Structure 1
Amino acid sequence: MSKENKTYSSDWIHKLEGQYNWNLYWHQLDLVLNHSGIEKGSDINEIGVGTGLTSGFLKNKGYRVTTIDIDPEKEPDIVADMTNFDFPKADMYLGFEVFEHIPFKEAKSVWKQLAQKKVSRIAMSLPYAYRTYLWLEFWSPFFGKKSIHIGRKRNHINAEHHFWELGIESYNTELIIREMKNLGFSVSISYRYRNHHFFLFSNEFK
């Protein structure tokens, strides 16, 4: 892949990200630590290392984490293009904000390979094509945690390196869930946080 046609960037990993991005890291880690049922000492492979915050935190908590990324500047454990890679076996795979960087057909091929490798947990997040004008999150003793989200749907993709996003054409959460169910996975968690949707898929391969 030539530099001009690459579907990733590295500039942002050298900067302090905004508070919203740090909130996204919390949601990533919450799926693994509090909902996946994956025990310490298990093998977790992360596709797309990013800043290394998620993988580093999980390593410090006792998980055996291997990072996979196409960009050598991010210093992953394995430098590889996920569209042409034989993924190693692991108990869990993470793919936060990475699958939109490849055509949807190729994303499905990655998910299919992980199912064939009998990966029992897959956690991922995907972006919405949405512009936020107001986001409020609050807790009420009567109604619990609530949020108010005001914005509008975008009809095009703003991100330079994205091939697709939720809300554009036929790409939606129902499609993602259907594709994963066809591979034998069940939906453990599916929810939206601002302009991202988080999923946790499970398969016990009995």
Structure 2
Amino acid sequence: MNVQVKHTTYYDLNYNDKARFNSFWHQIDAALRLKPGKIMEIGTGSGVVKFVLQKSGTEVTTIDIDPNLGPDIVASVLSIPLPDNSFDVALCCQVLEHLPYENFLPALKEIRRLVKGHLILSLPDLHRAYRFNLQAPLIGEIKFLWTLPRWKPLEWKFDGEHYWNISNKNYPVSRIRNDIRNAGFSIENEFCVYEISWHRFFILKKE
């Protein structure tokens, strides 16, 4: 597999903007709520998530195809050289869209092999999204994200990084949910991040 994103990108504030840090927060929050002893993080990125999880007392093993990012194990998500049930939880956020879609289900099955409990998965979703934020006396802040499917899903061609995105033509969220279940996971929770609406999270439990 070829490295698509230059490793220095992950240390650039144009990439690590405020919205993306909100996505990091959701990864960390979702992971810590599960109280794992050992976490597998697929896609090393900037290292922010690993740093915080380790400081919280969690053992984290990183997997990436790019040795320049300093992962603990250099490997493809399609073939990770570790025994079954090696981890309590896996994190795989904004990674699998970098593979052709025919590899989505095999990648999920490989992750399932390695975890005892849960997978925290996020994928890009190019739906329409509207943010609402109201500050009201006595009530306080009210904010929510309203997402809508597109009337005419957009075509997508490989752009050098993403092979596909949720809500593009042929990739409705229903298809992604179906393949998640076919891989042997149940969906415990699903949400889009208010501050970075195109990050759709799935909290999955191994069946």
Q: What TM-score range do you get, normalising by the shorter chain?
A: 0.7 to 0.9
Match of 1:199 in 2: 202
Q: CA RMSD in A?
A: 2.8
Match of 1:188 in 2: 188
Quick one: distance in 2 between partners of 1:170 and 1:156? Answer: 9
Query: Does residue 1:63 correspond to 2:66, yes or no?
Result: no
Equivalent position SS for 1:13? helix
Aligned residue among 80, 83, 90 for 1:85: 80
Report which stretch shifted further, 20-29 or 147-156. Answer: 147-156
Quick one: distance in 2 between partners of 1:176 and 1:104? Answer: 10
Give the TM-score, by structure 2 length.
0.81
Gaps of 5+ in 1: none
Aligned residue among 139, 146, 149 for 2:144: 146
Quick one: distance in 1 between partners of 2:128 and 2:198? Answer: 8
Aligned length: 196
Q: Does the Cα contact within 8 Å between 2:42 and 2:62 map onto a contact in 1?
A: yes
- 1:165-191 deviation per Cα after TM superposition (whole angstroms, max 9, x unaligned): 111122232222222222332111101
Query: Does residue 1:51 correspond to 2:37, yes or no?
Result: no
Q: Does the Cα contact within 8 Å between 1:129 and 1:157 map onto a contact in 2?
A: no
Match of 1:24 in 2: 23
Give the TM-score, by structure 1 length.
0.81
- 1:63-82 deviation per Cα after TM superposition (whole angstroms, max 9, x unaligned): 11000111111111111122
Q: Does the Cα contact within 8 Å between 1:136 and 1:149 map onto a contact in 2?
A: no
Q: Does the Cα contact within 8 Å between 1:93 and 1:119 map onto a contact in 2?
A: no
Cα deviation, residue 196, structure 1: 1.3
Q: Does the Cα contact within 8 Å between 1:48 and 1:67 map onto a contact in 2?
A: yes
Quick one: distance in 2 between partners of 1:175 and 1:151? Answer: 14
Quick one: distance in 2 between partners of 1:198 and 1:190? Answer: 6
Gaps of 5+ in 2: none
Quick one: distance in 1 between partners of 2:141 and 2:66? Answer: 45
Q: Does the Cα contact within 8 Å between 1:91 and 1:119 map onto a contact in 2?
A: yes
Aligned residue among 95, 119, 122 for 2:119: 122
Match of 1:155 in 2: 155
Relative to structure 1, is the Cα distance of residues 147 and 137 closer, same or farther in structure 2, using a 3 angstrom cutoff? farther
Relative to structure 1, is the Cα distance of residues 157 and 29 closer, same or farther in structure 2, using a 3 angstrom cutoff? farther
Quick one: distance in 2 between partners of 1:108 and 1:139? Answer: 43
Cα deviation, residue 58, structure 1: 0.4
Aligned ranges for residues 98-113 of structure 1 at < 5 Å?
98-113=95-110
Cα deviation, residue 20, structure 1: 0.8
